[in-house]
């Protein structure tokens, strides 16, 4: 089994923490995490893929062990996050790679694809949405903030940053909650409790409206470039509905779509199945 190295890189002045495993000359695979997590969510997946692939999983700016720049000097938008991750891939020599996108990793990764389609060898979307029909009613409080970014609507979103909500994100839709390790949500809680982290996350909730505005551009990329795509989806996700996975076939007819009887953080319960699906898909 390949060992995992824990490294840092400088990307546009932001220190980016990342996990790396596999041979440097193997096919490249970039793993992009979501809210409120970090590359820690890939702790079990990386060893299952590292024999065949050169795997790299960074922490996004403001998350995990990566820098959380001051909001006065760094605007927390998905455009800026993508700028940092784009530079990060260049710094580590990822000139052409497949990418696994989950939750916030999707708008980050899809921006990279829009900017440099020639760099994207394939896409694995695990509950990484690009279609309006994939958004559940769970987005309604955030939509209210998009429509009226008042202090009251911003304050209401703090409920999504509590311990109880984080645990719920990990366990909702899971058949056996005893199968979900507390390590993931406990670490997420630690990162969310850092001074200023709440405001960073509220900024990103507000900016997510610009991801929805980019959905047509993402879809045009899918139609124009037809990247090999595997959608492997926790079908009980309270935020991203199965319709969002099915919709990829509208623009990429050969897309593979698989559903798992679990929730948002599908790796917590179905990591082995997802690893097997990724390996088979990328080998094909």
Instruction: Give whole-number Cα distances, 126 to 10, 22, 146, 240, 243, in Å.
Output: 27, 22, 25, 10, 13
Q: Which residues have a catalytic role annotated?
A: 264
Q: Where is 6: in which H helix or E strand?
A: strand 5-11
Phi-psi region of 248 (alpha: psi -120 to 50; beta: other; left: phi over 0): alpha
- Residues 233/101, Cβ–Cβ less than 8 Å: no
Q: Give the SS3 label for residue 8.
A: strand
- Rounded Cα distance between 90 and 92, Å, is 6
- Residues 2/22, Cβ–Cβ less than 8 Å: yes
**What are the strands of the beta sheet with 256-260, ordered from one edge?**
5-11, 14-21, 54-58, 28-32, 97-101, 120-125, 229-234, 256-260
Cis omega (within 30 of 0) for bond into 36: yes
């Amino acid at each position: 089994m390949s060992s995992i190295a824990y490294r840092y890189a400088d990307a546009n002045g932001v220190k980016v923490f990342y996990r790396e495993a596999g041979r440097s000359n193997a096919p490249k695979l970039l793993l992009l995490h979501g809210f409120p997590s970090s590359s820690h969510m890939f702790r079990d997946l990386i060893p299952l893929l590292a024999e065949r692939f050169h795997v790299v999983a960074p922490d996004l700016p403001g998350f995990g062990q990566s820098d959380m720049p001051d909001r006065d000097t760094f605007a927390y938008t998905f455009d800026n996050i993508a700028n940092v991750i784009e530079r990060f891939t260049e710094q580590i020599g990822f000139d052409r790679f497949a990418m696994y996108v989950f939750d916030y990793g999707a708008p980050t990764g899809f921006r990279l694809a829009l900017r440099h389609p020639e760099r994207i060898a394939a896409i694995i979307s695990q509950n990484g949405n690009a279609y309006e029909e994939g958004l559940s009613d769970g987005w309604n409080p955030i939509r209210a903030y998009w429509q009226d970014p008042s202090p009251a609507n911003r304050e209401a979103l703090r409920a999504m940053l509590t311990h109880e909500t984080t645990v719920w994100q990990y366990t909702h839709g899971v058949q056996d909650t005893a199968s979900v390790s507390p390590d993931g949500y406990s670490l997420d809680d630690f990162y969310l409790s850092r001074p200023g982290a709440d405001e960073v996350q509220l900024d990103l909730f507000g900016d997510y409206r610009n991801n929805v505005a980019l959905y047509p551009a993402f879809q045009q990329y899918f139609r124009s470039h037809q990247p090999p795509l595997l959608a492997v989806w926790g079908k009980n996700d309270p935020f991203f509905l199965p319709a969002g996975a099915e919709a990829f076939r509208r623009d990429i007819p050969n897309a593979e779509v698989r559903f798992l009887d679990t929730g948002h953080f599908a790796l917590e319960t179905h990591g082995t199945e997802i690893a097997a699906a990724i390996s088979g898909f990328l080998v094909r």
